[in-house]
Chains A and B, each alone.
Chain A
Amino acid sequence: MIFLAAAGLVMLLSGLASYYTTQQISAFAVANLVAGPLALVAAGVVQTRRVSGFSGALSRRVLLRQTALVGVVAAAVVVSNVLASGWTASLDLTADRQYTLADQTLGVCAQIGKLPEARRPSLLFFEDALIAKEVRLRIAGYEAHCPIETRTLREAQAPPEARPILSEFETTVIACLGSRCEAVGYPSEGNITNALLRLTRASTPVVYFMLGHGEVNLSSEADHGFSALAGALRDEGMDVRGILGPAREEVPADADVLIVAAPERDLLPDEIESIDAWLEAGGRMLALLEPETASNLVELLGRWGFDLPPGVVADERVSPLLVDATPLSLLLNQFNGWHPITRKLSHRHMVLLPSARPVFAARKPMPDDRLEALLFTHKTAWLERDPAAARSGHGAGPDPAGPRGVPLPLAAAGRYPREHGEARIVVIGDADFASNRLLHTLYNPDLLLNSVLWLAEDEEQIALRPKGPTPDQDPLTIQQTLAYFYFLAFALPEALLLLGIHAWYRQRG
């Protein structure tokens, strides 16, 4: 019997070992995986007969009771595991709470919950995709907190509407609504949520960028380009278009938001006039200004109550995030907690503005207008009047006579109730913070995208977006690594081994 059990075990283990090493079910593996368990079962049957060795009612009673105990516990373990398999409760102990759904996702899920079943999207998760293991936890989060159907399946089982995508892309997650499916690129939470958002958006806000005056380059993928900004707006389900200012006399009628981002040259008077008229008629505009911007846009904004003194804001507290940090790179965490754009941002959230000019909400053009500052510097900041000198490191420094100890506002928003509708304007004293290099840094995207959503009166979508993992690299120097290695790989085992020899010596007596 012992030989049979041992032989069975050896065969089973050989079969498994051949499978694990080759990842193939070969004839050898099959033969062993069949014969091994059979031999074990046979040995088990023989052993069961030996149970008759438990003579007498008392012994049999104990045998029965203990077998029942093990059986009941085994059954309880199986049942608890079956019940727990549907239990998605978990504790996310990652530093960035990577697997805890972000505020934006929860908001999107809440909105989906209000939709009728037929209009709710679903997620297809391909468990045989290359990075499926990394994504499984994230999908579990959606399963637990989002009223959508999540289906875990193999690529071969994909429904017909998803197959064209699979034949074109290597993808792990596909979002579908009826027969309309979208591949989620890298299955980060942001991308999955945006795919759901796009599928469920009832309307598509149209965002126009003013072009033709040296504004930011939306097609450039370089660090200083702004292709990421256009992409982020599209990801939020917006329709992004450009208008070549000089060629048009009027802002298009379908424009929900007009973005004027860091024009280097003056706008034509006609353009200024048409923007002004459009705003008067209830238009919405986001102005991203650089410290050097001195175009007539500043004058236009002045008429709408914004005071934009020239210069660049500097701060003694240099940002530790930038390798080449200067006093001009501002790491900010002071927000207006009352305004819808910044309500969700607290002192725990930071934005990084590489160089910014102050934006004062100075006056109300009409009594019912409301202007509010959104973002502030620390009290240690001051205004450098000459941006070029400040950039080259020859700034004047804090003005001893200037108003120090007062936070300077760097962004402001205004609401202007007018006869034909409410105009809205947001002015941010920096454009570079939304460049490809910095758009996805900290809470920069939230400041920008929430501004656009507020302007588009899509306030339900205002949220804090999921963040990627914080990069953490190169923690130790070679010398430190070696020192720890010597201690743990040599000194500690050596000490343990000496203790072992001592124990052995004592045991020998």
Chain B
Amino acid sequence: MQRFINNPEFIVDDLIKGYVKAYKGFIEKSANNDRVVKRKNSPETGKVGIVTGGGSGHEPAFLGYVGENMVDAVAVGEVFASPPAEAFYDAILEADSGEGVACLFGNYAGDNMNVKMAIQMAEEEGVNVKFVTAKDDIASSPKETRHRRHGIAGGVYMWKAGGAKAALGGTLDDVIAVAQKAADNTRSICVGLSSCTIPAAGTPNFEIEEGMMEIGIGHHGEPGIRVEKLKSAAEIAAMMTDALLDDFAFDREQNIAVLLSGLGSTPKMELYVLYDAIEEVLKKQNHRVEVVLIGDYATSLDMNGISLSLMKLDNELKELLAYPAKTSGLTIIRS
């Protein structure tokens, strides 16, 4: 393992230390919990709080979306492990101004348990909390059991839409409704070309043979739905786009937002090579591409791979995505 680490057991503490130093202008660590990072001016009077959280190793997710008009407080877990209930609870308290808190997370078994315990604790303190789970990864469960699907990079849309709605003065129910709409209208799929290594484990999680690719690989290296011979970027991009469109089963052309994320060690230039073919496929079916995000938005440590997320837009979602935001992971400037 060739990695930039101190003691692998404390890599998450080290990550947080560096992160809050780098963004001290608008970010700080919670005074109550070392595993909670918050906006400096959270809670903001009159605004619904936005909370998320998840395992580390997916940077910029999740802490990278804390900032102006997006997430107010985040619970930071161990590498690839849900944050404890207490961290979600403290994040909820850091985000609550009295208007309630929307907890928007990724539908993993651990997150579900910890968030639900945290919500129970927060409600006992009189905080009104509602939640939405992103379920965009179509490879994580078949369509019939969509409720079991996991959230991956598509969560960025959920945080962006929910965060903008809260910034615009939406009530907790308004925020929950748009976050749910964003989640319901987003589909993602990953393709992996190589494994990832959890620093404390020291050896790769799994293997992908040279010349092969794993379609539908999970964000923690969960094996995908099938392994195939590596194809050209254009063929892979088309296959991924088709898989998402199949899952959507649109009955007419749509306005689409595209989010193409590297999984940690994918060269950026290859993302653009892929995007060329993605847009071709969408255009051929008369869909209009309204929003494009390309970069590292939700990663899996050092995995060589990509995730493609598509969101079906309506006017409201389009406006919320375009609303200004300032975070380390995503900045939208007023156009």
- To the question of whether A and B form a pair in one complex, the answer is no
Could you list which residues of chain A lie within 8 angstroms of chain B, going by C-beta atoms?
none
Could you list which residues of chain B lie within 8 angstroms of chain A, going by C-beta atoms?
none
